[in-house]
Amino acid sequence: MKNIGLDRGYNFHHAPSSFLPRVETVSECHPEAIAEGSAFSLLEKTKRILRRKAPHNDTLARVRRLRHSLVLGEEESGGVLRERRVLRGGKISSLSWPRITRIIVAAIVLAAGSVRAAEQRSATLATHAVGSLYNALGTGIATVVSRHTPITVRVQPFAGPPAWLPSMNGGDTDMGVLTSADAVTSYRGIILYKKPYKNTRILAVGGALQLSFYVPRDSAIETVADLKGKRIPADYPGTPIVRLSSTAALATAGLTYADIVKVPVSDLQSGAQAFMEGRTDAGWHSLGSPSVEEANARRGGVKFVSVIATPEGEKKMADVYPGSYPTLVKAGSATGVIKDTAVLTNDIYLVAARELSEQAAYDVVRALWEFNQELGAAHPALKAWRRERMVSKNPFIPYHPGAIKFFKEKQAWSKESEALQTKLLAQ
């Protein structure tokens, strides 16, 4: 058990096609120039890249110059006459291999530069709804990254990760904030996710979401094992993730909801209300939540109870809710923690689409690392996003190559980290 303290932003899809170099066919070249269609294939791939991610305005002039400069002068080599033609939607006739090579290299370099330019200027960051902790975290991150990189980050609120992960998997959402539990279950396509979303990558591990049951301060209940036969909020049809996490906590003691008296509630807030009204013997929430603060004031004090943090209990927790693990919270570190208490924990990840460029990912992580103190100033919960937590010893999904590049430069990426990355990519 660990011991811890607490649509893309740019849209170039409608750029005029005349901005793009168009090479439709290659014919009558020397055999080596089109061996197995290699030149044509590579040019076609380059064309698709350019059409998917059109260049920034600064680059459009370069595209036009390239288009107009690709003119075949008359020359004679190897007994074949080179005809003078302009590359624009027509055919390239009788190209020499050096000319083909120059065209390919120029087009690929331009494509790479165009994509990088576009991605460095704007990006989206998905969060939970406005007013949630995750939205506040995302807004703080966006502020720091926008201030210290060429990227302007636009926060996009959603109902939750299930609403935006499909978009990220398709490369249309750049970044997002979510828990390790959502990350791993979506990556594997299990529990709440009916299909795997394999294109999610970690940029940095931040703080932690810590949860447990809480009871009146003078209650004899000390651990989740003592909840057997007690009245507990249950069902949570509006927030099924809450049902999963609370079920995982009960599982550490070998209990299920069949072992308690279920009091149906719709969501976390209604569960907290039921506790404050005395209709339940316990509530379920995260440490530091406003609902716990209110319950503490209205019920004359509350205390969190411990999950069973044995190796067996930890395994049962992970079996029910992958991405979760128990941690020990020190007495006095939050309202209701009156003694050292073991709670269910999810790491909070800043993730990115695999398609986010390596440079953009590098820049984002560099900003979070080098201007780490500004994160805490942006929101109190971001104070937990410390440098030493950014590279997890137990990540549940792979890291982004751009993040790895930065962490290696800072000597924060170990041989163990590399071994875990290889293992995760193989899953």
For the stretch 169-184, pLDDT in tens is 999 999 999 999 999 9
Q: How far apart are CA 364 and CA 366, in angstroms?
A: 5
Q: Is the model's pTM score more than 0.85?
A: no
Percentage of residues in the chain with pLDDT exceeding 90?
67
Q: In DSSP terms, which residues pair with 353 in a beta bridge?
A: 200
Same domain, 147 and 54: no
What is the reported pLDDT for 131? Answer: 84
The dihedrals phi and psi of 316, each to the nearest 5 degrees, come to -65, -40
Higher pLDDT, 144 or 77: 144
Based on the domain organization, do 377 and 408 belong to the same domain?
yes
One-letter amino acid for residue 379 of the chain: H
Where would I find the H helices in 149-308?
A: 161-169, 180-188, 240-251, 268-276, 290-298
Rounded to the nearest integer, the mean pLDDT of the chain is 81
Residue 70 has a pLDDT of 41
Residue at a domain's end among 84, 119, 154: 119
Give domain status of residue 4, yes or no.
no
Is the distance from CB of 345 to CB of 3 less than 8 angstroms? no
**101 and 224 co-located in one domain:** no
- Residue of 125 and 71 predicted with greater confidence: 125
Residues 113, 125 within the same domain: no
Among the candidates 119, 149, 181, a domain finishes at: 119
Same domain, 197 and 214: no
The total number of structural domains in the chain stands at 3
Residue 6 lies in a domain: no
Residue 231's domain comprises: 209-345
Helix axes 97-121, 358-370, angle to 10 degrees: 30
Residue 106's pLDDT band, with cuts at 50, 70 and 90, is low
Residue of 176 and 241 predicted with greater confidence = 176
> Who's near 324: CB < 8 A, 6+ residues apart?
180, 181, 245, 248, 317, 318, 344, 345, 346
- The residue assigned the tokens 């269910």 is 344
Is 8 contained in some domain? no
- CATH (domain of 236): 3.40.190.10
User: Running DSSP on this structure, what letter comes out for residue 194?
Assistant: S
User: DSSP states of 201-216 as a string?
Assistant: EEEEEEEEEEEEEEEE
pLDDT of residue 240: 86
What number of helices (H) and strands (E) belong to the chain?
14, 15
Decide which of 119, 152, 185 is a domain's last residue: 119
Strands 200-216 and 302-304: antiparallel
Q: Are residues 219 and 320 in the same domain?
A: yes
Residue 57 has pLDDT above 60, yes or no: no
